[in-house]
Structure 1
Amino acid sequence: MTLLTRPDAYGTLIDPTTLKIQRLLPGPIDRIWAYLTESDLRRQWLASGTMEMKVGAPVELVWRNSELTDPPGNPPEGFGDEHRRTEEITELDPPRTLGISWGETGGVTFELEPKGTEVLLTVIHRWLPDRQTLLNVSAGWHAHLDVLAARAAGREPVSFWDSWADLKSDYGKRLPA
């Protein structure tokens, strides 16, 4: 097992407000692209919702994190059963790059690169405006990508919310204040 597929593959800051996190996933690239762009597959690890494949098109994201794993674990205080947002595709080069606006942050870019029979997925989340957002987003991407890695490998993922809580604490120790 390579480092990138292990649950301890933590994200890093590539500047003070930008997180980069990677996973090496079983390919081929079109399969992983489908996990990013097709609602039925994306809902298994992140969020469902419609996505028209063109720059400027809206992206509906519907998170139901308690449905990602069985058992789901205990959601932290302040997190509901469902969260919805509409974002926009900002960059598109199928099946290699997908950029999406992301609320008040600078957006998220997903990059796919074939590595033999595997695919390196790089997620870059820009302009995380404060430490609380940075810790929530870091733990969130890590936990969501662990679910994706498990699903793509045909394994059952660990409890999402329990993992998220542990990861938020870990990122609090790892990332500079």
Structure 2
Amino acid sequence: MNPGTVSFTYDGRVALRFEQSLSHPPEKVWRVLTDPQCLKAWFPAEVEFDLTPGAELVFRVTPEQVRRFGLPEDHTTTGTVISVRPAHILEYLWDAETLHWELVPDGTGGCWLTLTHTVEEEESAYAHAAGWHAGLEVVEAQLDGRTVDWSPWDRAEELAASYRKTS
């Protein structure tokens, strides 16, 4: 897994960017990025997707977030789908943050996955970066058919210090 980069946008927000070469076609990767059953293994919230531009998204806390962070079990946040091009682009708002997923065929049957997550505050960016890194490791394992016998939450904690040091 390639480490992500943390940079600043022209308006002072923070952009996290991950680029990963995957040996799977975009259609297969798209499923892992949008199928609720696949998302449960790696996405940091339970999400209701309607992949229609303008549609509202609902993000619910997971039992692990309740346990680790003391969030209320009924805590939800919302977002809006901005753009959808199946097996190519998915962009949406999660509260005030923008997530842009892009899949580009690499000419060998695989693809490049790029995630750009734009956040408002630098302080939260490092934890987000570590979390996405861990989550994308799970995505790669799912695609490869490998069992994940570790917690992405624990892995994110391990990675957090390295993101703070490199940024």
Residue 22 (structure 2) aligned to one of 20, 25, 31 = 25
TM-superposition CA deviations, 1:33-74 (whole Å, max 9, x none): 11122211222221443212211101223453749xxxxxxx
Matched residue, 2:8: 15
CA distance in 2, matches of 1:23, 1:87: 25
RMSD: 2.3
Contact 1:23 1:149 in 2 (8 A): no
Q: TM-score, normalised by structure 2?
A: 0.82
| Identity value in percent | 25
Counterpart of 2:34 in structure 1 is: 37
Separation in 2, partners of 1:124, 1:95 = 16
Structure 2 residue ranges without an equivalent (≥5): none
From 92, 102, 110, the counterpart of 2:101: 110
Deviations, residues 6-41 of structure 1 (Å, cap 9, x unaligned): 3xx111134351111122223221111111222112
Q: Give the whole-Å Cα distance in 2 for the aligned partners of 1:174 and 1:152.
A: 28
Matched positions, count? 158
Task: Note if 1:147 corresponds to 2:138.
Answer: yes
Provide the TM-score with structure 1 as the length reference: 0.78
Instruction: Rate the CA distance shift 1:125–1:79 in 2: closer, same or farther, 3 A.
Output: farther
Amino acid corresponding to residue 146 of structure 2 in structure 1: R
Unaligned runs of 5+ in 1: 1-5, 68-74
